[in-house]
Each structure stands twice: as structure tokens, then as C-alpha cells.
A and B are shown apart, each in its own frame.
Chain A
Amino acid sequence: MPEALSADWQYVLANACYLGEGLVVTIELTVASLLVGFAAGLPAGVVEVYAPRSERAPVRWLGAAVRNAGIVLRGTPIVVIITLAFFAFGISPAFVAATVALGFRSAAYQTQIFRGAIQSVGVGQMEAARSVGLSQLQSIRHVVLPQALRRSVPGFQNEVTIVLKDTSIAFAIGLAELLTKSYDLFQSVGHTTAIFELILFVSAVYFVLTVTANQSLEALADAVSVPGSEGQ
């Protein structure tokens, strides 16, 4: 341990492995929540765009249900959602409760990302696909979504950042993620003075994670961009 470091910094470094366990949980929770959000948000985005114009009443009802569920989820604080999931609905273990809460909240936001991206694809694309004889679902799958997904990357970058940082809310149900672990450390007897160092350290870790995630998505967007068309 370098002599120049203060006792508090030495305490942080000595517990790097302990914090590392929290980091693993943070990353796992981020990935799991984003996957739940994507799996529910992409179809919900499609439903929000196309269901209201359907000729079939049950499809229109589904559209209304999806829209209203989204409004409720987006209008509820994440702390409320996560404590409801864990304490009121009794979902356990805490990791699953946190994944459900963050995942569904993310689904509500991702729905809007995909809805906007789908609506930005010109109606002429759908018309051309239908005029060749593709069904509406085939047209969505093979023509609209490939273009919409490319356009949803900037919004998705935002969402990744939000979910990653909001995993710290799992602190409220005692899940041993990064923030909870640092809390445990500065609550230990004799180490309460390390609070500043611990919070600064943990913040730096979140920062590095968000920057890395954003740059990875940037690289992905470049890799799948359509030649000749700027910014898509």
C-alpha cells in the first residue's frame, strides 16, 4: 500500500475486491434490465405505432393497454416501483425484484424510443413493401424495423446510461450492488470518514462504465450504418 495515500484511500483500495463484487452485480443487473426492457419495449413500440389503426378491435384494445401501462410506468418514481416489487409483491430474491422493476420501467422508456424510430421511417417504405405483396408483419420485420433499429441507437445510448446509474436504486431493497457495498463500507465502525473517498470512487466507476457503454454503442452504430446515408 503506497505510503502517500491517506488512511481513507487505503481503506478504499483494501476493499477493492469487496466493491468489485458489487460492480459485478451492477453490471449483471444493468444487462438483465436492458434485456427485459428490449424484449418488452420493441414489440410494445410496434404495437403503439400500428395497433391504433388496426381494423380489429382486440388489437386496438391491446394498443390502448400498452399505451396506458407505459404512462403509469413512466409516471411512477423508480424507488416506488422497486420497493413495490420487493416488499409489496414479494418478488425474491432481491436481484429478480430489481430486474423486474428496472426492466419494466426501461421497457416503458424503450417503447418510446422505438415508437419514435419507427415513425421516422417514411410511410413510403411500408407502402413499397406492401405493394410487392409482403404482409404488414413481414413489412415491419424486414423493412421498417431494420431501419428503425439503426435510428434508435442514440435514444438507446441514453437509456443504457439511465438504467446503469439507476441500478443504484436497488440500494433501497438491500441488493448488494456497487452503491450498497460502498454504503456498507463507510458504515463500518471506524471508517465513517471514508464516505467522501468511497462515493468519489464509486462515482468514477459509474462514469467509466457509462462512457464505455456509450462508445461501444457508437461503434455498433458505425458498424451497421447503411453506406451512403449519413447518420442512420
Chain B
Amino acid sequence: MRHVNASPLAVRVGLLLTTLLFGALFLASPALAQDESAAGTSDIVRAALVGIGYYLSNSPWLAGNGGFFGLYRPLVAGFFVGIIFGDPVKGAEIGAAINVLYLGFISAGGSIPADPSVAGWVGTALAMAGGLDAQAAIALGVAVGLLGTIIFFTRMSVDATFAHVADGAAERGDITGVARANWLYPQIFLFVISFIPAFAAVYFGSSAVSFGIDWLNSNAPWILRGFEIAGGLLPAIGIALNMRFIFRGTVWPWFFVGFIVSATTNGGINIFTLGVIGVALAALHVYFLGDRAEKAMQPRGA
């Protein structure tokens, strides 16, 4: 056989990298949590870990789905940033709040031209550095997320080059070369354009954000109240964007059932419990529709 069988190599490299990076993160986390004086090297390490996390969220190394459907989501990103900064509870809370805005996020086209991943990784890190609570952090996350689109557009444009590298390899009948043009070169480029901005934003932005918040607190505190109010209004956009897909057909009344159950218990119902009840109700809904299920939603493109 002329060609070295390189395909499993790509997978092996991915698994190795992932194990190494996550191993490093978990080994480093107790040390980071203990180091409350947070000066010098640990700031660099924290910013670097956030940068690596942001790169991984865009990379293929976590079985594809673990990236785009996993670390890319602010909920997951916030949790890991929380570990990096020594407070996973707070990190997950901030990440969860930021994530509500991106509930209706669909990659293709993009209803909000934003990068949820950078909002999750960098936004949570900056909010934790500035001591913001989760509701006020939403507005900060949105701002960071908008800037993140630059990275996405750069990547989408430059990566076309590697398609031509693959064309060249195809002409030579070089199967390994085609594979490499897909998995190796774009990743080197992606690491550079995602790690460096995220690292710099966290390393240099942390002190700027905490300075800014201190200043506002003593000079124009109403602006911080404005952030909090915005944190109560903006989630409506994320929820409404998701409603476009499901608040339709025959299933929309369940939205009101969910809202009212939650409101009358003042949020006391555990959402996981509600989800289990929801599975039962959804099954009944499908059974009672019977053959009419086809026209019950009329999804796009079907």
C-alpha cells in the first residue's frame, strides 16, 4: 500500500491533546483555587487556560459534538472558567445566565451575529474578575460575544485556502494529504487566532473591567443598575429566538403550562423534575395526535 494509514492518527492526536489539556486543567485547578493572592504567574496561567478552553470549543478534538455542542455553550464554558478561577458554582451561574441569550442560537445564518463561546469563556472570566453577579454579567457577555464574530469570519475566509491545498493533494492522489489539509493546517491557524485574543482579553481585560466597575460603583452606580435591568430583559430575546422553532403548530400551549407552573411555585419546581413530567406529557401529545403528527409542526425544509 502506497499510503501510510493516517486517519486514525488524527483521532489519536486529538484524544492525546484533549487528555493532556484537561489533565493539566484538573491538576492545576486546586493550586489555582488556593492561590487567593492571584498575582503574577497565576494570572497568566488562568488566562492561558481560558484561551485553551476557547480554542478547544471551536476545535474538533472533543469528538466534534463535545466542542460545538459542549464547550462552545456558555453554560459549560462558565463551569470550566469557574474551576479555573476557583469557584465553579459562581462560574456555572454566570455561564448559565449568559447562555439564556444564546438558547436560540443556530450556527447557520446566525440570528444574533455573535460567538456564544467567547461570551462564555471570556465573558465569564471578566465577570468573575470584576466581581459582577450573574444577571449583570449577561450584558458584558453579549458585548464580548459580538466582538467574537470577527474571529469566526476570519476563520471562515482563511480556511478556504486549505481547501485548495486539499485540491492539490487530490491531483497527486495523495489521500493522506487531503486528510491533513482538513484536520491539521486549519487547526494550527485556528489555535493562533482563537488562543491569542482570548488570552489577551482575559489577561489585560481583567484589571480594566474591575477598575471600570469600581469607578462606576462610586461615580455612576445607576449604570450598574442598568446592567442588572438589562440582565432581566435580554434573556427574553434568547428565549424568543428559540420560540421561533417550537412555539408553533399544536405544541405552543405547553409554553404557558411551563411558565405558570414555575411562576406559581415561584421557581420552586426543580427543572429536572419538570423535564421528566414534560417527557410524559410530550409522549401523550404524540400518541393523541396519531397520524396527524406530520402536520403538527411543519418543520423547516421537511
Partners in one complex: no
Q: Which residues of B contact A (CB under 8 A)?
A: none
